[in-house]
Amino acid sequence: MNKSALVAPQVKWQEKGYELLVQGNYIQAASTFEQAIAIEPDVKSHYWYLGLILLLQGQEIEAQTTWLMAMMEDEAEEVGDENAELRIILDREAERQEKLEEYSVSWKIRQSIKELFPKDVHNLLHLLQLSIEAKTYKSDNLQEYGLISILQSEPQIEVNLELLELVLRSILEYAYFEPSTQDLLKASLPYFVNNLPTLLSIVLPTAVDISYSHGQPKIAANLAKLYLQLDPHNTEVLGHLTAFYQNAREFSLGIETAKLLYSLVDSLPEKIFANRQILRGVISAGGNWEESCSVNRQQQDLIAELIKENPHNLEQIKAIRLSSANYFASYIEDNLEKNRKIQNQLLKLSKDNNLVYGRDIVEKYSQGHHQRKQKYIKHKKLKIGYLSYCLKTHSVGWLARWLFRHHDRDTFQINGYFMNADNVSDFMHQWYSEQVDKAYKSTNVWSMAEQIYQDEIDILIDLDSVTLDTTCEVVQCKPAPIQATWLGWDASGSPSVDYFIADPYVLPESAQEHYREKIWRLPQTYIAVDGFEVGVPTVTREELDIPSDGVVYFCGQRGFKRHPDITKLQLRIIKEVPNSYFLIKGISDEESVKTFFHKLAEEEGVDISKLRFLPGVPSESIHRANLGIADIVLDTYPYNGATTTLETLWMCIPMVTRVGEQFAARNSYTMMMNAGITEGIAWTDEEYVEWGVRLGKDEALRQQIAWKLKQSRKTSPLWNGKQFTREMEKAYTQMWHRYIEE
């Protein structure tokens, strides 16, 4: 018989049956294929389609039985081809159902494929993707599917890289915290040996997001290390890995990686970044100030050389990173003129390069501002935008909330622009998102700047300064006609920033000559809060082996704020006050800090039995409660406390601060002045020691200060968030009028 004559009826039956299937007429479709089987019992595809229709009707067992019975009738040599045909039919229908967004139906079909063909890697990948999209994925799915062992099989199997890439991106976003996710990535590495750019595009953005949005730097470091197995000298990944390690407090690994990075790079901007990462690790660990100062001197030399070269052809990432290149100088030296000069020069260089690679955007914004100014409508509601990555459980987040709470919404529209906050799961961030008229979140510089511009923000308030380079880059684009820096750090020095918001105390009167920005001084204080939440203390004197009549001094700052010079002064105070003890707390390397303090204590003749090192606590409210154990708080210098100072004053604890020249050395001074307290303000090292000793020996004076601080809650501008908000709003209005009238 002619072969084509045999094929024709088969095609006819299948076309008719499949058309009914697509129409959703499963009963007629099943009947059609049953007739086809009766007439053409040897055509296996009729069975495959009949089983598929039964599956679509929810009759899984009947479907499996139909397929298996047909398979059992085949001769051994025919099984492979016939089964391949079944797999193609089921796969095609699963894809069709997925396009129809019938994900549960597609998942059911792919589950059947898995039962029949358990080693079909592409089906397993599709199953994973479907379960993630349906939010039904569980960590044991990978073990259940055996996908990792299949990918690890030898010889290496053929895998659709686009599909594998899609699944890796999805699972890293959805279940990054599961150890099995990292196992899947590790098993996938060999398939990207010849496609490293794709692997990099999967791993690095995900690791950055995991570290900064989710606060999981250890997991981020693990992902980066997996990538480096294939590309061990990738300097971009190494640069991020240094930060991941340091943020995870694995300081030794962070320093070691930063030094490797430095050895691999050639250009000045890259060396400046790598050396900055070395300095960040050493100074954060908090013990080796000799090395910190040495690395800082090298950083200053590198920066000076770059400023002299004055390049205008830097890639965006290199230009952005210059903004924070001198960040740690103010922790090492209180030199307002020197530090501001370098900072201004760095930001100008960064801006000059921004004007090259971002020229079209910057010019578009500039022209747009001019056109809108010509169309200014009097008495309109001012649009204020707040730009930051810190509006969450962060010092800035705790302090800025009263401004958001008390804003006059009849006069001002408030927008929040949250950098690196796409996936932040944080109750304080959620609170901020609900306080604004419009919230926009992004990790992308250009999209963030464009959104601010399109929203026609009148005044953009930058709360990050140079603490986040991408925020700084958004500001450099000048997406708003008026831009001001407030709260998060000292002024950035950017030519794109118009104002730096300060007060009468936090900068000396002569400071303006060192600032590119116009210093806008609020009448009393540059920050105010209505108070702080206080929890239940978790430490007692008895637990710390401190007698009830002991005099307890406390210093709770990060490692890079504990300059050895101020630490020596603190230890001299301890030495001179009988029955005194020193509580030390802060984020740093525990062993390095103990070695640091023990060495200095030995040099100053202080018994190390007077020292107590406190561990971290689960929340800020518990930290504040634990402050109650202290009689006196000793502030740091040349970089004061800020949030910690406010918390100390709110808890009515006397403190000693050393006032300097730079913004960072005057935070506690302005806060104490605004709380009505002058006792404990020292202008020299000698006064610092004198105040520390006097407060330790004079219990009556401590009680008097505590009483004054308690009374200040009723009258001080420091504790009046509503009054402070009115002063900020008045400043915004004046800034706007000045802009319009220019």
pLDDT tens column, 704-723:
999 999 999 999 999 999 99
- Judged against a pLDDT cut of 50, whether residue 561 lies above it is answered with yes
Q: What is the pLDDT of residue 286?
A: 80
When pLDDT is cut at 50, 70 and 90, the band that residue 82 belongs to is: low
CA–CA separation, 378 and 714 (whole Å): 38
Higher pLDDT, 221 or 423: 221
- Judged against a pLDDT cut of 60, whether residue 79 lies above it is answered with no
- Judged against a pLDDT cut of 60, whether residue 485 lies above it is answered with yes
Q: How far apart are the first and last CA of the chain?
A: 96
Torsion of CA 52, 56, 62, 64, to 10 degrees: 50
Q: Are 38 and 69 in contact (CB under 8 A)?
A: no
**Peptide linkage before 618 cis (omega within 30 of 0):** no
- Judged against a pLDDT cut of 70, whether residue 369 lies above it is answered with yes
Residues linked to residue 245 through DSSP beta bridges, in sequence order: none
The reply to whether 551-719 shares the fold of 3-194 is no
What average pLDDT score do residues 483-496 get?
97
When pLDDT is cut at 50, 70 and 90, the band that residue 4 belongs to is: very low
Q: What is the pLDDT of residue 9?
A: 55
CA–CA separation, 280 and 482 (whole Å): 32
Q: How many CB atoms lie within 10 A of CB 661?
A: 19
- Judged against a pLDDT cut of 90, whether residue 586 lies above it is answered with no
Residue in this structure with the two tokens 């030519």, named with its chain if needed: 495
CA–CA separation, 555 and 644 (whole Å): 9
When pLDDT is cut at 50, 70 and 90, the band that residue 587 belongs to is: confident
* Adjacency order of strands within the sheet including 499-502: 438-442, 412-419, 382-388, 459-462, 482-485, 499-502, 518-521
User: Residue 490: which of 478, 502, 482 has the closest Cα?
Assistant: 502
CA–CA separation, 251 and 274 (whole Å): 15
Helix (H) or strand (E) holding 80: helix 76-99
**CA-based radius of gyration for the chain:** 33
The helix/strand/coil state of 500 is strand
Structural fold of domain 358-521:
Rossmann fold (3.40.50)
CA–CA separation, 712 and 719 (whole Å): 8
DSSP line for 202-216: HHHHHHHHHHHTS--
Residues linked to residue 440 through DSSP beta bridges, in sequence order: 417
What average pLDDT score do residues 182-189 get?
97
Q: What is the pLDDT of residue 329?
A: 96
Q: Are 488 and 396 in contact (CB under 8 A)?
A: yes
Q: Are 468 and 420 in contact (CB under 8 A)?
A: yes
Q: Are 492 and 465 in contact (CB under 8 A)?
A: yes
CATH number for the segment(s) 3-194: 1.25.40
For the chain, what percent of residues have pLDDT higher than 70?
96
Q: Which residues contact 80 (CB under 8 A, 6 or more apart)?
A: none
| pLDDT tens-place string over residues 620-663 | 999 999 999 999 999 999 999 999 999 999 999 999 999 999 99
Q: Are 234 and 221 in contact (CB under 8 A)?
A: no
- Judged against a pLDDT cut of 60, whether residue 42 lies above it is answered with yes
Q: What is the overall mean pLDDT for the chain?
A: 93
Torsion of CA 588, 590, 596, 598, to 10 degrees: 150
The helix/strand/coil state of 1 is coil
- Judged against a pLDDT cut of 70, whether residue 6 lies above it is answered with no
| pLDDT tens-place string over residues 597-619 | 999 999 999 999 999 999 888 88
For 386, the token pair is 């707040």
Q: What is the pLDDT of residue 622?
A: 92
Q: What is the pLDDT of residue 557?
A: 87
- Judged against a pLDDT cut of 70, whether residue 493 lies above it is answered with yes
551-719 has CATH 3.40.50.720 classification: no
Q: Where are the domains of the chain?
A: 3-194, 272-356, 358-521, 551-719
DSSP line for 41-63: TT-HHHHHHHHHHHHHTT-HHHH
Q: Are 390 and 708 in contact (CB under 8 A)?
A: no
CA–CA separation, 417 and 433 (whole Å): 9
- Judged against a pLDDT cut of 80, whether residue 541 lies above it is answered with yes
- Judged against a pLDDT cut of 80, whether residue 424 lies above it is answered with no
For 428, the token pair is 């304080």
Q: Are 613 and 584 in contact (CB under 8 A)?
A: yes
Q: Are 402 and 372 in contact (CB under 8 A)?
A: no
CA–CA separation, 214 and 679 (whole Å): 42
Q: What is the pLDDT of residue 351?
A: 96
CA–CA separation, 484 and 498 (whole Å): 6
| pLDDT tens-place string over residues 95-130 | 999 899 898 899 999 999 998 899 999 999 999 999
Residues linked to residue 680 through DSSP beta bridges, in sequence order: none
- Judged against a pLDDT cut of 50, whether residue 578 lies above it is answered with yes
Looking at 129-138, 238-247, 363-372, 462-471, which range is the least confident one? Answer: 129-138
Q: Are 123 and 106 in contact (CB under 8 A)?
A: no
Q: Which residues contact 710 (CB under 8 A, 6 or more apart)?
A: 652
With 0-12 / 13-18 / 19 or more C-beta atoms within 10 angstroms meaning exposed / middle / buried, residue 481 is buried
Q: What is the pLDDT of residue 83?
A: 78
Q: What is the pLDDT of residue 639?
A: 97
Residue in this structure with the two tokens 């200095």, named with its chain if needed: 600
Residue in this structure with the two tokens 């044991």, named with its chain if needed: 140
Q: pTM for this one?
A: 0.89
CA–CA separation, 313 and 474 (whole Å): 19
- Judged against a pLDDT cut of 90, whether residue 592 lies above it is answered with no
CA–CA separation, 200 and 424 (whole Å): 23
Residue in this structure with the two tokens 């962060």, named with its chain if needed: 394
